[in-house]
Amino acid sequence: MNHKLYIVSTPIGNYDDITLRALKTLKEVDLIICEEYKPTRRLLSYYEITKELFSLNEHNESDDASEAISEILSGKTAALISDAGTPLFSDPGTILVNQAIEKGIQIIPIPGASSLLSALVGSGYELNNFYYYGWLSPKKEIRRSQLQKLKSLTELLIIMETPYRLQALLSDIKRTFGNYQFVVVAFKLTQNGETFFRGTVSSVIETTSKEKNKGEFVLLLDNRKMRKGNNRSTL
């Protein structure tokens, strides 16, 4: 039997962004492996899909991935999804996928929405190359140390962070890269209120603090030395 595990990308905010192939896959598989039940049931209810669910998250993946693999090896077709966007990007699933590969299970990615790519194409930066760092430490001193290391990279830097640490992150960037460093904050992508905040660190700090933005965001910082003049010339 040709056992399969589909890696299905789901919307990052706007439910209309799901692909036809993703919908077809979610309707046809026997089992959906998800992070948390509540957002998954809400998503599936919107598309009028009812399926058996298996929760696999950062807390239980090490222990329970093998159980999900057993379900697939028993003959069930399965789809892995995250709470939003493309699975495995700063989300659980790596252990599951590696175990699936070891067992000869076919891995089939179903591409779709990604906050990373949405932020990049809407930023205005040249996208020939970039450095995806992901999530910084929530601890201030470690975060500042990480930013200091990133400062040495001549790349377009991409950083993910939780909404309630936006101001702390911007303040640390200002401290590390300087007051006139140009940044882009892609806020609430694909949702009502989607906004790209562009400007110096200081101006973005001022704008976002006044508006008290609480949504998800991706931050981009161009640290490429080959840019002409200041960072604004790359836009």
Query: What is the SS3 assignment for 104-166?
Result: CCEEEEECCCCHHHHHHHHHCCCCCCCEEEEECCCCHHHHHHHHHHHHCCCCEEEEEECHHHH
Q: Spell out a b/e string for 162-184, using b for 16 or more CB atoms within 10 Å of the CB, else e.
A: eeebbeebbebbbebbeeebbbb
pLDDT block averages, 10 residues each, the chain of length 235: 90 95 97 95 97 91 92 96 90 92 96 93 93 93 96 94 89 93 93 92 89 79 65 41
Q: What kind and span of H or E run contains 218?
A: strand 217-222
Strands 52-55 and 31-34: parallel
Contact criterion met (CB below 8 Å) for 132 and 122: no
Q: What is the pLDDT of residue 234?
A: 39
Q: What is the pLDDT of residue 163?
A: 81
Q: What is the pLDDT of residue 212?
A: 65
Q: What is the pLDDT of residue 227?
A: 44
Q: What is the pLDDT of residue 155?
A: 93
Contact criterion met (CB below 8 Å) for 40 and 88: no
Kindly list the structural domains of the chain, giving each domain's residue range(s) and its CATH number in brackets, ordered by start: 4-110 (3.40.1010.10), 115-234 (3.30.950.10)
